[in-house]
Structure 1
């Protein structure tokens, strides 16, 4: 990475800066890149200048999750210099934490992410999986998220340990060469013949809270195919078992959901819009039903990243990983549902 004009030694500057992305940083998220480039600038301020459009990529607005490409030109607004000897970001250092490992070699690692942990910090979250993992492995030269999971979702999450692994795996995700299957408990009887959901999605923001200058919470909805913000989203659903819970016998379905596109909240919105919201979903679900489920012990959304298939970026071998249902979800499942799950288990392949 190098400055095109008048770079100062300090990462924070009181004048507009233009930076060019070299190949080493290709594929990295904009927010993660800026955290490294603007050391000493609070993360909340970094997100603020991105949302306001003050950070530009090739003269255009960008989002925090925008992936950088080699040759991109970034415009950074004037930033107040941090006082010498004083850390501008007073937020505590992320706690060092390792997560349950499903697989690891010199190119990548796969963890079983617990629910309730964001994959990265930002937007009110001080730290996530990647920051905590870096703190736990201070000698690691490179650790970057390959993809993401919602904070409320548990299951398989890939982290690259080399730049080449990151770019190779992300290309597989973009080209839909990976296989991603989730387990979800949904309300009602999912029709066995309803196997494909193909409905475009668009993101929007809820109204800001009264007196707040921050934008409202992000949501996603189904839109018409000719909507200007429409993004194609395809979800495949397979019924594994009918599930009876004490609140209402035979009122739920355990389904395996395979996504062919990786849109934000895709599974949650598609299933809810089909009339079968995910149990425990606090954004798109049945709030009254969720309160009853909490009394049965379901304190989270029943969505779990169960299986992931991909080609190893270095060896070229096809890999298949599987993360078993976490205890808090297994405890809710009656015996027949667990038996159906065991029958559908696939062979896990990794050396």
Structure 2
């Protein structure tokens, strides 16, 4: 059994993956966001575990012992979406608190997640400093940028994973996945086998699942919905754009920042189609097979059959991070607002990616315990 401590826990992506895999035991967790804390406690049995709110105020030496430290130190100061202030931003310095835990507790392993931009910011100097400080503690390390879309999740989300082992061997096997940036490992693109109306289309089981609707089951269901950029000049995509903490902000000025859902269904009656940006009392578009609007002298009528665009729902964002529908419902049942549900999903790590890493880690640890590695 590998005992682990989850720092920067968020809604517990590492924990969800570890509980699914088995072979892991949580001894404690740390999270400063009170809404994420609320979600975490709704999702997991945290009884008997040590909880810390602020990682900067922990007595590291007094923490419980563990074999594995995991977490994604705050990434806003490294992200291309932010100002890229790196260590000039206090949030960038939180990575050093993560390193201080490694120094105090000396776990056999660690897994740190961050944005790929960490590799290149300040001409790579920030990342060099991080590697140098961890290397001084005796850890052998490997790192790789992994994309969620390469692990059966229809979301393009590239994240850097840094793995360390307190031994003489580089733990490269833990991040050994096929394909460049793991873009090509796992399942391929969506492949439609049989067409038809929404809900009746059939897709190849070898392809990535299309968007889930609120009433569908877990990842892997087939719904007949399609991703589309939520910005001017939208384009269809096989995978959703990277889910962000502000996924509910709608149209974005940053090209391709958010995805919406394109719903292709039956013809609908539309009233005053030329008044798309004009205030309209009542509905402008009817449901399929409803009668046309009443004819008047001033109104114009038409039919729309190219589909509609809608924003991703919170439950879809959670599923695009690999969480189950029942997990989302547990958190939603606490009364958490949609804005917070979007935020918690956007700040999370994709569970399916962690599952794949955990599987390799268990194999590596088993071989290490047999004396294969020193």
Q: Report the TM range for the smaller structure's normalisation.
A: under 0.3
Greater helix proportion: 2
TM-score relative to the length of structure 2 = 0.25
Greater strand proportion: 1
Structure possessing the higher relative contact order (Cα contacts under 8 Å, 6 or more residues apart): 2
TM-score relative to the length of structure 1 = 0.26
